[in-house]
Amino acid sequence: MKTNLLLSEDAIRQRACELGEQISATYNDGSPVLCVCVLKGAFMFFGELVKRIKGDVILDFLTLSSYNGANTTGQVRLINDIKEFAQGRHVLIVEDIVDSGYTVEFLKKHFEEKGALSVKVACLIDRPLNRKVNVETDFSAFTVTSNRFLVGYGLDFNQRYRNMGYISEVEFE
């Protein structure tokens, strides 16, 4: 499999710093922000981002599944929910990539139903050209205009490449 570097570790770290400041400035009413890492893909970006968020922060994790190789099934499944209470709290969903939008649509509804005070979305990559449903991100590190499949920094292809410290585009032969 051939890959081309798209986003370096330095570029990602730089944007995570900027987003961290933006997020810290957004939540200023004194109530805690429940940052939710969407596993597995967001794990690396989550770590990079949350250390830049100042104030009262609570971390939790959930696991979803919707992908099969390089194709979305469109069916989002909740494998493991968060353990913390979301009711009455600001929820910040942290995603690796927002593509068709099915995942974020599902999660926004999920946390609204739990009675969250607010639900916002931070992501490493926003790819609006593939949207199937009308969802928007609140804090996105990068917007990509190419349709190429991406790996690295948490993003996988059949569970591989998540450990790469940068993002590459995949060229399928």
CB-based burial label for 79 (10 Å; 0-12, 13-18, 19+): exposed
- Please, which residue, 11 or 117, has the CB nearer to ligand IMP? 11
Catalytic-labelled residue, pool 96, 99, 126, 156: 99
Distance between CA atoms of residues 117 and 93, nearest Å: 13
User: Catalytic residue at 99?
Assistant: yes
Strand partners, 78: 64
Task: Return the H-helix or E-strand segment holding 49.
Answer: helix 43-50
Tell me which of 24, 31, 63, 66 binds ligand IMP, using CB under 6 A. 66
Planar angle of CA 99, 149, 92, nearest 5 degrees? 35
Range 135-154, binding ligand IMP (CB under 6 A) = 149-150
- Please, which residue, 27 or 102, has the CB nearer to ligand IMP? 102
- Please, which residue, 31 or 131, has the CB nearer to Mg ion? 131
97 near ligand IMP (CB under 6 A): yes
Range 59-88, binding Mg ion (CB under 5 A) = none
Q: CB of 165 within 8 A of CB of 153?
A: yes
- The region, left, alpha or beta by phi > 0 then psi within -120 to 50, assigned to residue 159 is left
Distance of CA 100 to the CA centre of its chain: 13
- Please, which residue, 74 or 115, has the CB nearer to ligand IMP? 74
103 near ligand IMP (CB under 6 A): yes
Look at residue 22 and give the partner it binds from ligand IMP, Mg ion, none, a contact being a CB closer than 5 to 8 Å depending on partner kind: none
Binding site for ligand IMP (CB under 6 A): 41, 66-67, 72, 95-103, 149-150, 155-156
**Which residues of the shown chain bind Mg ion in the complex (CB under 5 A)?**
41, 96
